[in-house]
């Protein structure tokens, strides 16, 4: 979690260690940054509450699929999801299905920048796979 001096609150990779939108550690969230599509960064599962398990081995019994912890938090908090590469269309569809605003999924191309809530965000390329796990996809 980052908080800019102007009050904009940014959650980076909601992942598995945030207890959903009701996690008392969150408060208001304006922006969620997602580095890549692995479940431990997007949140395929999550902790049930704060203080469960240990840092080295958190207990993540709550499944958040196919939406994700990121989408659940974004919808509940009215936050904008900011990502790079092919992720914006994926998150826009998930936001819409969850009753959120698909326009709140925004792209920043590598090396470009975008201002959100008075904070300038830029992305840089990193060498790490970014595939979407089949468990995030809706089943027909």
Query: By the 8 A CB rule, do 112 and 122 touch?
Result: yes
- Give 33's pLDDT tier (boundaries 50, 70, 90): very high
CB-side exposure of 104: number of CA atoms within 13 Å? 25
Would the pLDDT of 140 be above 90? no
The half-sphere exposure of 73 on its side-chain side, counting CA atoms within 13 A, is 35
pTM score, whole prediction? 0.89
- Shortest CA distance to 126 belongs to which of 112, 115, 110? 110
- Quick check: 75 and 100 in contact, CB under 8 A? yes
pLDDT at residue number 135: 84
The reported pLDDT for the residue numbered 55 is 77
Q: How many residues does the chain have?
A: 140
Tell me which residue of 19, 22, 18, 1 sits closest to 10, measured CA to CA. 1
Q: In what order do the strands lie in the sheet with 80-83?
A: 2-3, 9-12, 31-33, 80-83, 105-107
Q: φ, ψ for residue 76 (rounded to 5)?
A: -65, -35
Tokens of 130: 């970014």
Looking at residue 139, its pLDDT comes to 62
Strands 119-122 and 80-83: unpaired
Alpha helices in 5-86 (DSSP H): 39-42, 69-77
Segment 34-72, tens digit of pLDDT: 998 899 999 999 999 988 777 777 889 999 999 999 999
Residue 31: predicted pLDDT: 98
Residue spans of the domains in the chain: they are 2-136
């Amino acid at each position: 979690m980052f908080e800019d001096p102007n009050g904009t609150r940014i959650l980076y990779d909601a992942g598995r260690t945030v207890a959903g939108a009701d996690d008392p550690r969150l408060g208001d969230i304006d922006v969620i940054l997602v580095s890549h599509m692995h479940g431990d960064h997007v949140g395929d599962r999550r902790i049930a509450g704060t203080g469960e398990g240990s840092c080295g081995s958190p207990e993540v019994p709550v499944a958040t699929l196919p939406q994700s912890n990121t989408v659940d938090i974004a919808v509940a908090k009215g936050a904008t999801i900011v990502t790079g590469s092919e992720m914006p269309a994926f998150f826009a569809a998930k936001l819409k299905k969850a009753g959120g605003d698909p326009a709140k999924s925004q792209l920043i191309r590598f090396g470009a920048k975008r201002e959100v809530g008075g904070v300038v965000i830029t992305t840089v390329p990193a060498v790490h796979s970014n595939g979407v796990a089949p468990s995030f996809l809706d089943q027909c």
